[in-house]
């Protein structure tokens, strides 16, 4: 071991693996040590050499992964229950909560983790995150409508009366080409981290824990967060090359977060108070066609300058948009059918969304074109008044100019329960 | 045929039981309280085996905790413990002296403390009476299956050599049933398994003649005749008999049996679910069911041991095997014939796959239970 004196703040997986045959590792932190830090505290700790070393607290009033700063990577997975037993659903949610509690704090799953258990037993933890820091991992779960009722509307898992009124099937939108195989699902897990390996490790272990109770319906990897959820983050770009999420709800806008993200007591149901609704849409982009569009055309479609992100009516990225401004020919500077206008709260009864989407590239399509786009994720208090309102404005060939270049191929709506404390589990209120 | 499973069954027998069988739980309640200038380990005399150190950083700098053996060999480490955080470290320590070290600021040699580990060294695995009884019970099962295997293979071979295509097609999945039930036995003999149960692509890759069950299967279903099959049929019978004889001389140990119960399900998951086992005849469900039955037989032999050691595991296995059996039943008709695999819908295959995965998870824990009861 030559590296023992290495004065490093980095993380060496090799060091650990080389250490000992039946080696050692960090596992199972008793109930997330980071709780004391508290999610409400925005004060960074002094002397931290690597921001990824500091875990995001798991416990809290709300689930992490919604208003916490958007990480760089996503692994999203939807599952269907393979068991119809209420006890299996409860035990699954308990097991998932415990495993997420461990993994988000940078620990292995289980008592013995990846390499300290019996040599004759498969390791409790799959091991690919050994030696990696927590990397900002958050794990967020949501419940689909099909978890509450079957296709005939009959309650499942004894959840009579628990289905939130707002957890309706999303309406069909003009231009949708949805594939049911990659839409909906009983349960959704959004794992985000700054290291894709850490996000994959989280999902892989949760899926493994679920065998016999739930199985994967579809999954999606994403990169390059396309939205910032904090004003401390710069606005990232989507696959169209434009800044995306400039006008997103930011955690600092306390009033917006309260008005548009969390389910309040008056909305109910009780078990969902402090939770949020997640809408997912896989949006394929006709990348190559878009790339042939002149700059002026691209900017006109979006309504913003490609470089600065500022609105075409003038000013920097965060300048107020002047939709009334006319050019010298008397036409609006910001096209009436531009994306920014049709999606804007001013034209959607004030509706705002907390967007948390990611870019994706699923290889290529066999014709030499990228299978790429945006895995759109948005959180909201009321899907009908928020996502559905905005999407109705955008959808259809007569509306958003961008529709010529994009197509929605999947859709999901999930009710994400509130956060858990030191002892609780996700969705506990459903079974009270 | 599955080289990977063969390998794991063989190597596992050579392993010693390094996790202390008497004390599988880690020494509990060990805390390490680290500050910027101190490192207090709550207990420094430990028992051999896995120990859990709960490392709490009460300082202001990010810290690390290491356990070093002589010459600063790292036995275990937990890195990046931020101020106010707690991280756990599990280390499996054999008898000896060690040093625990906190490294505030993650630099330097650290603040060290001596740790002494005493007690039993790793145990060598040997089968208890109960495990021997389990192995004997399974041996009886293997014997009953091998008698039928030889008889049915002989009938199949005769039909092939007589040029009776219809009869050969009928007997093919039936003879294979007995083979698939005791596949872990066959897989012990690495060179014979590919000759009898190998697939065409592998034979091509390994530059050998494509022989065995699947060679004849291809002739029967693709060419619908038995031309040129006499030699292959004779060789098949010879090799099956050889495997049976070798198996009798070297019965499986209880641990191999536990591994075999898992190996059979892995077979289902890797080659039956995908429909690649019987790619010409699509009689995969015969093999599928036989693998499951073989796995159940192995678990049945181990049952007295498992019930004593881990009753919850047995309950889980029973429930999940039943769910799988119940689902499989719909594909068998009154004559005992199974639906051809290419007739199953994607949804039906997914359902079977989920059910197999559901049994496979608990069954993967059986070997450790058996090892611990040695």
The CATH number of the domain where B45 resides is what? 2.60.40.420
Residue B199 lies inside a defined structural domain of this protein: yes
Q: What confidence score (pLDDT) does residue A36 get?
A: 34
Residue A431: inside a domain, yes or no?
no
A36 inside 8 A of chain B by CB: yes
CA distances from A266 to A262, A270, A379 (A): 11, 9, 18
Nearest CB neighbour to B89, from listed A26, A211, A212? A26
Distance from CA of B332 to the nearest CA of A (A): 22
Q: Are residues B35 and B174 in the same domain?
A: no
Q: How far apart are CA A65 and CA A190, in angstroms?
A: 8
Residue of B nearest to A57 (CA): B85
Question: Where is pLDDT greater, at A414 or B71?
Answer: A414
Residue B282 covered by a domain: yes
Say whether both B11 and B35 belong to one domain.
no
A53 touches chain B (CB under 8 A): yes
Q: Closest-CA residue in chain B for A133?
A: B80
CA distance A338 to chain B (A): 42
Domain that includes residue A135, residue range:
73-421
Q: List pLDDT tens digits, range B123-178.
A: 544 567 888 889 899 989 999 999 999 999 999 999 999 999 999 999 999 999 99
Count of the separate structural domains present in chain B: 2
Q: Which of B60, B86, B118 is the last residue of a domain?
A: B118
Query: How many percent of chain A have pLDDT more than 90?
Result: 75
pLDDT at A32 over 90: no
Instruction: Inform me whether the pLDDT recorded for A170 exceeds 80.
Output: yes
Sheet containing B73-81, strands listed edge to edge, beginning at the edge strand earlier in sequence: B45-47, B111-118, B96-102, B63-69, B73-81
**A198/B contact by beta carbon, under 8 A:** no
Length of chain A as a residue count: 432
Mean pLDDT within A372-384: 97
DSSP 3-state of A394 = helix
Question: Are residues B347 and B224 part of one domain?
Answer: yes
pTM greater than 0.90 (yes/no)? no
- Considering the domain architecture, whether residues B171 and B270 belong to the same structural domain is answered as yes
Per-residue pLDDT, A404:
95
Co-location of B244 and B188 in the same domain: yes
Q: Is residue B20 part of a domain?
A: no
Is residue B21 a part of any domain in this protein?
Answer: no
- Choose one of B76, B92, B118: the last residue of a domain: B118
Q: Is residue A369 part of a domain?
A: yes
* Spatial CA neighbour of A34 closest among B87, B216, B311: B87
- The answer to whether residues B215 and B197 touch, using CB atoms and an 8 Å cutoff, is no
- Tens digit of pLDDT for each residue in A84-133? 999 999 999 999 999 999 999 988 898 888 887 777 889 999 999 988 88
Listed residues B98, B118, B138: the one ending a domain: B118
* Least Cα separation, residue B200 to chain A (angstroms): 28
Q: Give A84 to chain B, closest Cα distance, Å.
A: 12
What ipTM describes this predicted complex?
Answer: 0.77
Which chain A residues in 205-224 lie under 8 Å from chain B, judged by CB atoms? 208, 211-213, 215
Q: Which residues is B17 bridged to in the sheet? A: B123
Q: Number of folded domains in chain A?
A: 1
Q: Are residues B255 and B301 in the same domain?
A: yes
Full DSSP string of A346-386: GGTTT---EE--EEEEEEE-SSS-EEEEEEEEEEES-TIII
| CB contact residues (below 8 A), chain A span 80-119, against chain B | 82, 105-107, 111-113, 116-119
Facing A116 at nearest CB: one of B50, B61, B362: B50
Same domain, B67 and B204: no
| B80 and B150 belong to one structural domain | no
Judged against a pLDDT cut of 60, whether residue A230 lies above it is answered with yes
Q: How far is B201 from chain A (nearest CA, A)?
A: 26
Domain with B47, as residue range(s), is: 27-118
Beta-carbon separation of A212 and B358 below 8 A: yes
Q: Same structural domain for residues B11 and B72? A: no
The answer to whether residue B238 scores a pLDDT higher than 60 is yes
- Report the mean per-residue pLDDT for chain A: 88
Q: B131 with B192, same domain?
A: yes
């Amino acid at each position: 071991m030559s590296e023992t004196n290495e004065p490093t703040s980095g993380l060496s997986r090799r060091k650990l693996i080389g250490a000992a045959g039946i080696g050692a590792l960090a596992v199972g932190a008793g109930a997330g040590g980071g709780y004391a830090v508290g999610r409400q505290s925005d004060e960074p700790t002094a002397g931290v050499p690597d921001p990824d070393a500091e875990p995001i607290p798991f416990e809290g009033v709300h689930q992490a992964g919604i208003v916490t700063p958007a990480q760089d990577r996503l692994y999203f997975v939807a599952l269907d229950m393979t068991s119809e037993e209420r006890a299996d659903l409860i035990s699954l949610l308990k097991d998932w909560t415990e495993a997420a509690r461990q993994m988000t704090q940078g620990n292995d799953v289980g008592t013995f983790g990846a390499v300290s258990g019996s040599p004759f037993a498969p390791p409790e933890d799959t091991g690919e995150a050994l030696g990696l820091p927590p990397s900002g991992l958050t794990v967020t779960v949501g419940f689909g409508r099909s978890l509450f009722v079957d296709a005939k509307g009959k309650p499942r898992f004894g959840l009579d009366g628990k289905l939130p009124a707002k957890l309706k099937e999303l309406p069909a939108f003009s231009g949708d080409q949805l594939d049911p195989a990659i839409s909906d699902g009983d349960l959704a897990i959004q794992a985000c981290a700054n290291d894709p390996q850490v996000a994959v490790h989280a999902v892989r272990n949760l899926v493994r824990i679920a065998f016999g109770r739930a199985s994967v319906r579809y999954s999606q990897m994403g990169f390059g967060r396309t939205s910032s959820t904090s004003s401390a983050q710069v606005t990232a770009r989507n696959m169209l090359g434009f800044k995306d999420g400039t006008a997103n709800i930011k955690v600092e806008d306390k009033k917006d977060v309260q008005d548009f993200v969390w389910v309040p007591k008056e909305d109910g149901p009780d078990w969902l108070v402090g939770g949020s609704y997640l809408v997912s849409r896989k949006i394929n982009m006709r990348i190559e066609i878009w790339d042939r569009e002149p700059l002026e055309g691209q900017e006109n479609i979006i309504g913003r300058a490609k470089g600065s992100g500022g609105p075409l009516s003038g000013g920097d990225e965060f300048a107020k948009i002047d939709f009334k401004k006319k050019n010298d020919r008397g036409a609006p500077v910001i096209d009436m059918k531009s994306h920014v206008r049709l999606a804007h709260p001013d034209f959607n009864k004030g509706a705002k969304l907390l967007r948390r989407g990611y870019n994706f590239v699923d290889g290529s399509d066999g014709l030499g074109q990228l299978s790429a786009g945006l895995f759109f994720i948005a959180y909201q208090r009321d899907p009908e008044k928020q996502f559905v309102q905005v999407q109705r404005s955008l959808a259809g060939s007569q509306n958003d100019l961008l529709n010529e270049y994009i197509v929605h191929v999947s859709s999901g709506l999930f009710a994400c329960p509130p956060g858990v404390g030191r002892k609780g589990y996700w969705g506990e209120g459903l079974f009270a | 045929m599955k080289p990977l499973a063969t390998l794991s069954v063989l190597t596992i027998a050579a392993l010693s039981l390094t996790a202390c069988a008497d004390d599988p739980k880690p020494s509990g309640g060990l805390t390490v309280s680290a500050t910027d200038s101190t490192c207090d380990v709550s207990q420094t005399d430990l028992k051999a085996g896995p120990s859990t150190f709960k490392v709490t950083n009460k300082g202001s700098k990010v810290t690390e905790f290491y356990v070093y053996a002589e010459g600063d060999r790292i036995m275990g480490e937990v890195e990046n413990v931020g101020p106010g955080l707690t991280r756990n470290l599990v280390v499996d320590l054999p008898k000896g002296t060690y040093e625990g070290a906190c490294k505030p600021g993650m630099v330097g040699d650290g603040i060290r403390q001596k740790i002494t580990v005493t007690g039993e060294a790793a145990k060598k695995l040997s089968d208890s009476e109960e495990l021997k009884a389990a192995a004997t019970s399974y041996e009886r099962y293997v014997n009953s299956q091998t008698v039928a295997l030889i008889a049915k293979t002989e009938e199949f071979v005769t039909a092939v050599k007589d040029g009776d295509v219809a009869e050969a097609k009928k007997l093919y999945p039936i003879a294979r049933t007995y083979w698939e039930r005791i596949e872990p036995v066959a897989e012990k003999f690495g060179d014979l398994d590919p000759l009898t149960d190998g697939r065409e692509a592998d034979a091509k890759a390994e530059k050998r003649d494509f022989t065995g069950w699947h060679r004849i299967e291809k002739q029967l279903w693709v060419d619908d005749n038995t031309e040129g099959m006499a030699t292959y049929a004779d060789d098949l019978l010879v090799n099956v008999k050889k495997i049976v004889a070798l198996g009798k001389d070297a019965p499986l140990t209880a641990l191999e049996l536990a591994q075999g119960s898992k190996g059979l399900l892995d077979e289902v998951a890797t080659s039956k679910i995908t429909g690649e086992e019987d790619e010409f005849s699509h009689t995969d469900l015969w093999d599928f069911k036989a693998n499951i039955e073989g796995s159940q037989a192995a678990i049945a032999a181990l049952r007295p041991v498992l019930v004593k050691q881990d009753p919850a595991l047995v309950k889980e296995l029973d429930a999940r095997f039943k769910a799988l059996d119940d689902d499989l039943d719909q594909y068998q008709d009154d004559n005992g014939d199974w639906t051809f695999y290419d007739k199953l819908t994607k949804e039906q295959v997914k359902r079977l796959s989920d059910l197999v995965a559901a049994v496979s998870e608990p069954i993967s824990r059986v070997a450790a239970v058996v090892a611990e009861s040695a």
